[in-house]
Amino acid sequence: MLSHRLRSFGFVLVLMPSGLAAQFSSDSSLFADVAGGGGVVRGGPVVQSSEGSGRPFSRFAIGGTISPMGPGGQLTAYVNDHFNVRATGSVFNHATSFTTNGFPATATLNMATAQIAGDIYPFHRGFRISPGLMMYNGNQLAASSALPGGTSFTLNGNTYYSAIANPFTGATPLSASALLGLHSTKPALTLTAGWGNTIPRNGHWSFPFEAGAAFIGSPSLTANLSGWACYDQAQTQCTNVASITNPIAAQIQNDLNAQIATWKSDLDSMKTFPLVSFGVAYSFGRSATVR
pLDDT in single tens digits along all 291 residues of the chain: 434 443 443 333 333 344 433 343 444 343 344 344 444 444 444 444 444 457 999 999 999 999 988 899 999 999 999 999 999 999 999 999 999 999 999 999 999 999 999 999 998 778 999 999 999 999 999 999 999 999 999 999 999 999 999 999 999 999 999 999 999 899 999 999 999 999 998 889 999 999 999 999 999 999 999 999 999 999 999 999 999 999 999 999 999 999 999 999 999 889 999 999 999 999 998 754 433
Global pTM value: 0.75
Please tell me the distance from the alpha carbon of residue 106 to that of residue 146, in angstroms, as a whole number: 9
Residue 225 burial (C-beta neighbours within 10 Å; 0-12, 13-18, 19+)? buried
What architecture (CATH level 2) is domain 57-290? Answer: Beta Barrel (2.40)
Please tell me the distance from the alpha carbon of residue 115 to that of residue 101, in angstroms, as a whole number: 36
Question: Which residues are bridge partners to 116 per DSSP?
Answer: 87, 133
Domain ranges for the chain, please list them.
Answer: 2-42, 57-290
